[in-house]
Chains A and B, each alone.
Chain A
């Protein structure tokens, strides 16, 4: 009997560890800010308190703009990064996988090297480059440097090299050129990989913190992740119910994307190795 109960006990505990903070955030968001500040956080949500969501969405609060605008910036950024990376890496992976051109391996290694240079380790010089290019405080400054990394290219190259030679041969006999083959065969058969990668990249873009912190000082371009850290920064006068409501709103979009596309996403992670 114990062997039947043990898995449920362990997994139940695990669910509790992960779900409990979210429950606190949801319950806390509906309560009186002064009561929370005193340490009287109730685990029972107050039904009349849900108006706080309308409030944080529409109105600016101390240190941060209205959350609807932050969510819009986050959404735009996540979408631009996901689509931009996919649009950039499909052609380059295709070129490396299906052509033999001079400096092919050199090009591949230059792209591959970016994996070893995360923005965290080249912080100051990257910022200097951005200001030279006049991209500080712009939406493109927020997104373009994050689009140019190799993970997606590697993944697609792996997928493309798995396409059987016979398929290429057949397409060529049918008179299909390389671009036609790309659009009619390669992209359709890679649909599941593209979907999985979209989830991973959307979450990656949504979750950025250090880069937006560095390259944007204009509050109009604050993402929701930046906004919420600003809110908890000013400790003494923090309106905790608003912080918790914003946290719930900031968590929802990426979590919904991951849970809704769970099957593809897990496949993409485990088969693509990153």
Chain B
């Protein structure tokens, strides 16, 4: 949507965009270019010299079974976090949309977790699920259910999924609630008069009208699960036990910063960038569609 009336001049607008362009160039384009450059280099063991290696880093990355396992693990993790946080949020939003007493209270109580840092959600979950001090964790061990996410990979995975989804429910809740409130009451009334009820009415009338929100959140949640959960996972398990909770972002960090394997870490960064570009393109399409409806 372009406007008809615009201000004349070239120097002023250039001056206005310049600060942001400068910061973008220094802190985004330069490192991104650097990542692509490093991913094509081979460094010697001491990191003193490097030579052009073409796609060698990528070839060895894709040949590495550990990387394949990390990809599969990340996909599983993202799917679980997205499904859990969207499912719960939709359930809560449907009930919070109803005309009930104490609605405002419920909404406030469901919105505030948005403010919780991913790392803080990890801390809160330690207090609940630590095998010795956690309220639930210690209780499980007391009644004879062996629970120690520091030793058991499946339990560790369940824990990071839970902690990551827990934090994201409130974000999804806000969007679902807004989406539900945007549905005209007359549509719901008409369905009610036609005799459609309860879950059937929800599935056939409400859910289709909510689909744009669902698609939007799907992309946002996948990006959240893939990237923003670094702090949650790192604080809870550091990727362990073994590699059972090592997601792709954690692997970039461990390989690049901790083990200083620049070539492989850069190649991983480039692959991730490609992933984000695909997800952003999808989001852009759905946002465009949403604006159109």
Contacts and interface: CB of A to CB of B under 8 A. Distances in A.
A88 B32 CA distance: 21
State which size class the interface on B falls in: 35 or more
Contact of A168 (B1, B3, B9): B3
Interface in B189-240: 216, 220, 223, 227-228, 230-231, 234-235
A262 interface: yes
Contacts of A104: 13
Contacts of A98: 3, 6-7, 13
A183 interface: no
Contacts of B117: 206-209, 225, 250, 254
Which of the listed residues B20, B119, B122, B290 has the most CB atoms from chain A within 10 Å of its own CB? B20
A7 B98 contact: yes
A88 B20 contact: yes
A195 interface: no
Contacts of A21: 124-125, 127-128
A147 interface: yes
Interface stretch (B21-29, B54-62, B67-75, B153-161): B21-29
Given A39-B132, A254-B117, A122 B23 contact: no
A18 B110 contact: yes
Nearest to A163: B3
Which of the listed residues B5, B17, B135, B231 has the most CB atoms from chain A within 10 Å of its own CB? B17
Interface in B99-121: 100, 102, 106, 108-120
B14 interface: yes
Given A122-B269, A124-B265, A269-B174, A10 B3 contact: no
A97 B3 contact: yes
B277 A116 contact: yes
Which 5 pairs across A and B sit closest by C-beta, in order of nearness? A148-B23, A207-B117, A209-B231, A125-B34, A99-B13
Interface of B: 1, 3-7, 9-10, 12-14, 16-17, 19-21, 23-32, 34-35, 38, 88, 91-92, 95-96, 98, 100, 102, 106, 108-120, 122-128, 132-133, 135, 138, 142, 166, 169-171, 174-175, 178, 216, 220, 223, 227-228, 230-231, 234-235, 249, 252-253, 256-257, 262, 265-266, 269, 272-273, 276-277, 280, 287, 290
